[in-house]
Amino acid sequence: MSLKVFRVAEMVAVEKAAHASGVSYSQMMETAGWRVAEAIMSRYPVAGLNILILVGPGNNGGDGLVAGRYLAEAGAHVAFYLYQPRSADSDENYAKVQQMGLFVIDASFDQRYRVLRTRLKVTDLLIDALLGTGVSRPISGGMATLLKQVQIGLQERKDFLAAAQAQTGLISVAQIQPTPATAVSPSGRAVRFPVIVAVDCPSGLNCDTGALDALAVAADLTVTFAGPKRGHFCFPGAAACGELVVADIGIPTNLPGAPDVTVSLMTAAAAQRLLPPRPLHGHKSTFGWVGIAAGAADYWGAPVLAARGAYRVGVGLVALAVPARLRPTIAAQMPEATYLPTQEQDTLGAESALLLRQHMGRYTALLIGPGLGSATTFMERLFTADGPVPDLPPLVIDADGLNLLARQPDWPQRLPAHTILTPHPGEMARLTGTDVQTADRVELAQTQAQAWGHVVVLKGAYTVVAAPDGRAHIIPFANPILGTAGSGDVLAGVIAGLLAQGISPIDAAALGAYLHGAAGQLASATLGDAGLLAGELADWLPQVRHALRA
């Protein structure tokens, strides 16, 4: 399923609507606390762990109290550190903690934070339940002092563990593995302590903008409720969330009075539903034919990478229109493709545009732009001021195609409706004529998709895909392994390949970006965060498809 991505005000309105419909705030808190504990127990060996829970003054602290109760029942040694006093008479979750006899520290009685620092020295897992999603200004006062002490205490704990592990007196000079982990998780994954878990978000993260307070404690795991928040995918805050888990807390869908949330997160379930069918009686024509106009004297590899991306997502045929001097070399690397008999030697021009227009009827999708270079005449002849080319197939424009398009006046009107545009931030700046570095990426993509009447794929960490009707999808991958030359060419080919198989433009763009990011994740699990070649990235795509089909 797809998950809604909320602004803070939208989440507050949804919770209010849920309460009015019969799902009480106390019920949501109980479920939220259990979900935090459940996420922890599924990842870490809880029994016997020393767990410290930082309890804030609001509902986030209440979630922490509930989570601690369940973790204590699972065998953990749980202690609570209260930022402000709580009353057992008015706070049932605090009363339950007291009834269990669990250790509670009140910050107002902890002179110079000595108890906190002492507890942190033996803490294996710290739960941040201080502030939650309501932060919109810098942390100050007593909360700032508390978080400073937490940072110092955590560093002391890490230093102690590192020193303890190094006291063997033996050094293997050829060993490349890091110091052995302290424990193994229930799934067999190595765990390094101390582990930091954030309830809803790390305290100090602005969940609308991604701004991050300097005092925020970065989490290894963030468990958020009902749906992720915009700030979980905006840097610098996104880097402080660690693994992000969305927990169902029992809020029904389509609640009366709930806001219309237009942004969603692509998930594996949503991607699985969008995969084009592969009938047993299918043949190459069944699975579509992509035309790709790409390449120039300086960019021989871009057409190959785009074609490889299209083939690896299952398209039946690829036809390449490339400059004549490139064709023999490219054909040797991509013998599966067919080739238009273009005549220009180094850069596609007017004759190639005419040739491509003559072959339009063959293709079920068309990709223009990877490595196209300075093919200004080609773009002008292909997309004239008279409007879109008659019978133009569904279209993707990428890379140099976007840069050349930006030079043409009224360029959005020259394209067929719902053309897929795949800019990175620099190309987006050229298309809009503005500096987009500080812009809200989701709002930028939504605004321009609606203004242009086309699908926008704003590339980068957590790629945003926006439709002209105002909908937007966030792709849940931020991986530096994808930061390699040619990665965007593969993505353009992937999207064109899906479009050729009959998927709608918005779905092809969202699914293509998801498959591309997921391929990076699979590769990263084997290779780490660097060293992947773009051509190798394309080769991981069938594994992603296979995993989704399983």
Does 274 reside within a domain?
no
Task: Over range 54-79, report the average pLDDT.
Answer: 97
Does 174 reside within a domain?
no
Q: How far apart are CA 536 and CA 543, in angstroms?
A: 12
Q: How far apart are CA 423 and CA 402, in angstroms?
A: 7
Q: How far apart are CA 216 and CA 502, in angstroms?
A: 46
**In Å, how far from its chain's centre is CA 433?**
27
Sign of torsion over alpha carbons 441, 232, 239, 493:
negative
If asked whether residues 366 and 303 sit together in one domain, one would say yes
Query: Binning pLDDT at 50, 70 and 90, where does residue 380 land?
Result: very high
Q: What is the pLDDT of residue 62?
A: 98
Q: How far apart are CA 154 and CA 145, in angstroms?
A: 14
Residue entry with tokens 């067999």: 188
Q: Among the three residues 226, 261, 296, which one is the final residue of a domain in this structure?
A: 261
Q: Kindly write down the DSSP assignment for every residue of 265-314, as one continuous string.
A: E--HHHHHHHSPP--TT--TTTT-EEEEE--BTTBSHHHHHHHHHHHHTT
Answer whether 284's CB lies under 8 Å from 497's CB.
no
- Give the pLDDT confidence of 478-519 residue by residue, as tens digits: 999 999 999 999 999 999 999 999 999 999 999 999 999 999
Q: What is the pLDDT of residue 189?
A: 59
If asked whether residues 323 and 248 sit together in one domain, one would say no
Q: What is the pLDDT of residue 87?
A: 93
If asked whether residues 367 and 433 sit together in one domain, one would say yes
Answer whether 306's CB lies under 8 Å from 370's CB.
yes
- Number of domains making up the chain: 2
If asked whether residues 205 and 351 sit together in one domain, one would say no
Q: Which residue range is the domain that position 288 belongs to?
A: 281-549
Q: How far apart are CA 99 and CA 273, in angstroms?
A: 48
The pair phi, psi for residue 365, each rounded to 5°, is -160, 155
Give Cα separations from 373 to 48, 318, 365, 430 (angstroms).
62, 21, 21, 16
- Checking if the pLDDT of 257 tops 90, the result is no
- Give the pLDDT confidence of 391-435 residue by residue, as tens digits: 789 999 999 999 999 999 899 999 999 999 999 999 999 999 999
Does 454 reside within a domain?
yes
Q: What is the pLDDT of residue 171?
A: 73
If residue 353 lies in a helix (H) or strand (E), which one and from where to where? helix 350-358
The pTM (predicted TM-score) of the whole model is: 0.95
Q: Among the three residues 213, 228, 261, which one is the final residue of a domain in this structure?
A: 261
- Checking if the pLDDT of 186 tops 80, the result is no
**In Å, how far from its chain's centre is CA 430?**
24
Residue-averaged pLDDT of the chain:
94
Q: What is the pLDDT of residue 185?
A: 59
Q: Which residue has the higher pLDDT, 1 or 519?
A: 519
Q: Per the structure block, which two tokens stand in for 275?
A: 């995969």
Answer whether 322's CB lies under 8 Å from 294's CB.
yes
Does 180 reside within a domain?
no
User: Helix, strand, or coil here: 171?
Assistant: coil
Side-chain-side CA neighbours of 285 within 13 Å: the count stands at: 1
Q: How far apart are CA 123 and CA 86, in angstroms?
A: 23
Q: Kindly write down the DSSP assignment for every residue of 91-136, as one continuous string.
A: -HHHHHHHHTT-EEEEGGG-GGGHHHHHHHTT-SEEEEESSGGG--
If asked whether residues 350 and 202 sit together in one domain, one would say no
- Checking if the pLDDT of 387 tops 70, the result is no
If asked whether residues 230 and 335 sit together in one domain, one would say no
Answer whether 256's CB lies under 8 Å from 21's CB.
yes
- Give the pLDDT confidence of 127-143 residue by residue, as tens digits: 999 999 988 899 999 99
- SS3 string, 406-464, reads CCCCCHHHHCCCCCEEECCHHHHHHHHCCCCCCCCHHHHHHHHHHHHCCEEEECCCCCE
Does 533 reside within a domain?
yes
Give the domain CATH number at 244: 3.40.50.10260
User: Helix, strand, or coil here: 239?
Assistant: helix
Task: Over range 281-294, report the average pLDDT.
Answer: 96
- Checking if the pLDDT of 1 tops 60, the result is no
